Chain A
Amino acid sequence: MLNIDRRILAHFDFITIILLIPLIFTSGWLIYEIHPMLGQKQMFYSFVGVGVFIVLFLLPIRRMLWMIPIAYWTSILLLIAVEFVGHSRLGAKRWIEIPFIHFTLQPSELLKPAFVLMLAYLISRTPPPRDGYRLKEFLKLSVYILLPFFLIAKEPDLGTATVLVLLGYGILFIVGVHWKIWIGMITAFVISLPLIYSQMHDYQKQRLHDFVGEKPSYHVEQSIIAVGSGGFFGKNKEDATQTQMKFLPIASSDFIFAYVVERFGFFGALMLIMLYAALITHLLLIAFWTEDYYIKVVAGGLSLLFFIYMSVNIAMTIGFAPVVGVPLPMFSYGGSSFINFVIILAILENLLAYRFRYLYGDTGKKSFL
Chain B
Amino acid sequence: MKIKILITLFIIIWIGLIVRVFHLAVQSNDYYESLSENNSIKSELTAPVRGEILDRNNEPVAINELGFKIAFAPHLTKGKDRTLLDKEIAYLRTMIPTLDADKIAKTYIQEDSYYNHSFIDVVDFISHETIIPLYSILNLRGTVKISPSPKRLYPYGLVGAHLIGYVAKANQKEIDADSSLKLLGHVGKNGIEKYYNGYLQGVAGERRIKVNAHNVEIEEIGRSATQENHNLVLNLDMRLQNFITQAFEKRVGTIIVMDIHGAIYAAGSYPEYDLNTFVSGISPEEWNALMTSVDSPFTNKMINGLYPPGSTIKNNMGLLYITSGVWNENTTIMSTGSMRLGNRTFRDWKKNGHGATNITKAIVESCDDYFYQGSLQVGIDRMSNGIFRMGLGKKTGIDLPNEFIGTVPSRAWKREKFHKPWFQGETLNTSIGQGDLLVTPMQIAQQTALMATGLLPVPHIAKMIGNTPNTPVPLDVLTPQEKAKLPIIQNAMRGVCNEPGGTARAYVSTRFPIAGKTGTAQTTGISQTVKNRLNEKDMEYLKRSHAWFTTYGPADNPQFIVTVMVEHGGHGGEATGGIVSSIYNKLDELGYIKKPKPASDTASVQVTP
Residues of B within 8 A of A (CB-CB), count? 33
B36 in the interface (beta carbon within 8 A) = yes
Contact A311 B21 (CB under 8 A): no
Of B6-14, B322-330, B339-347, B385-393, the one with at least 4 CB within 8 A of chain A:
B6-14
CB atoms of A284 and B6 under 8 A apart: yes
Are B2 and A174 interface neighbours, CB within 8 A? Answer: yes
The one of B26, B39, B213, B218 in contact with A266, judged by C-beta atoms closer than 8 angstroms, is: B26
How many angstroms from the CA of A222 to the CA of B2 in the assembled complex? 39
Interchain CA distance A38-B214 in the complex, whole Å: 20
User: With A173-B2, A270-B18 in contact, do A242 and B25 touch (Cβ < 8 Å)?
Assistant: no
Does A246 count as interface, using CB distance less than 8 angstroms?
Answer: yes
Asked if A135 CB lies within 8 Å of chain B CBs, one says no
Across-interface contacts of B33 in A (CB, < 8 A)? 228-229, 231
Cβ of B37: which chain A residues have Cβ within 8 Å of it? 241
Counting chain A CB atoms within 10 Å of each CB, the highest count among B24, B32, B213 belongs to: B24
Q: Which 8 A-B pairs have the closest CB atoms?
A: A228-B32, A245-B212, A229-B36, A230-B25, A246-B213, A228-B24, A266-B25, A247-B213
Closest residue of chain B to A245 (Cβ to Cβ) is B212
Q: How far is the CA of A284 from the CA of B2 in the complex (A)?
A: 11
Bound state CA distance, A231 and B21, in angstroms?
A: 10
Cα-based distance from A226 to B37 in the complex (angstroms): 11
A288 CA to B3 CA in the complex, in Å?
A: 7
The residues of B that contact A206 with a CB separation of less than 8 Å are: none
Given contacts A227-B32, A231-B26, A277-B14, 8 further A-B contacts (CB under 8 A): A226-B36, A227-B25, A228-B25, A228-B33, A241-B39, A247-B40, A269-B21, A311-B13
A285: chain B residues at CB < 8 Å are: 3
CB-CB nearest in chain A for B33:
A229
Q: Does A232 contact B (CB under 8 A)?
A: yes
- Per-residue CB proximity of B200-220 to A under 8 Å, as 1/0? 000000000011111000100
Q: How far is A247 from B214 in the complex, measured between Cα atoms in Å?
A: 8
> Do A245 and B218 touch (CB < 8 A)?
yes
A281 touches B (CB below 8 Å): yes
Q: Do the beta carbons of B36 and A241 come within 8 Å of each other?
A: yes
B418 beta carbon closer than 8 Å to chain A: no
Q: For the complex, is B20 an interface residue (Cβ under 8 Å from A)?
A: yes
Asked if residues A245 and B213 are in contact (CB atoms below 8 Å), the reply is yes
Question: In chain B, residues 27-82, which have Cβ atoms closer than 8 Å to a Cβ of chain A?
Answer: 28-29, 31-33, 35-37, 39-40
Seen from chain A, the residues whose Cβ lies within 8 Å of a Cβ on chain B are 173-174, 176, 222, 224-232, 241-242, 245-247, 249, 261, 265-266, 269-270, 273, 277, 280-281, 284-285, 288, 307, 311, 314-315, 318, 320
Contact A320 B20 (CB under 8 A): yes
Contact B7 A246 (CB under 8 A): no
| Chain A residues, CB < 8 A from B421 | none
- Asked if B17 and A318 sit within 8 Å, CB to CB, the answer is yes
Answer whether residue B413 sits at the interface, using C-beta atoms and an 8 A cutoff. Answer: no
Q: A230-B25, A266-B25, A277-B10 are in contact. Are A225 and B35 (CB under 8 A)?
A: yes
Q: Are A229 and B20 in contact (CB under 8 A)?
A: no
CA–CA, A270 to B26, complex, Å?
A: 12
Contacts of B28 in A (CB 8 A): 228
B466 interfacial by beta-carbon distance below 8 Å: no
Residue B135 is within 8 A (CB to CB) of chain A in the complex: no
15 contacting pairs across A/B (C-beta < 8 A): A174-B2, A229-B29, A229-B32, A229-B33, A245-B218, A246-B213, A247-B36, A261-B24, A265-B26, A273-B18, A277-B10, A277-B14, A281-B7, A285-B3, A311-B14
Could you say which of A176, A247, A284 contacts B39, with CB atoms under 8 Å apart? A247
Is B21 in contact with A261, judged by CB distance below 8 angstroms? Answer: yes
B20: which A residues are within 8 A, CB to CB? 318, 320
What residues on A are CB-neighbors of B3 within 8 Å? 284-285, 288
Is B22 interfacial (CB-CB < 8 Å)? yes
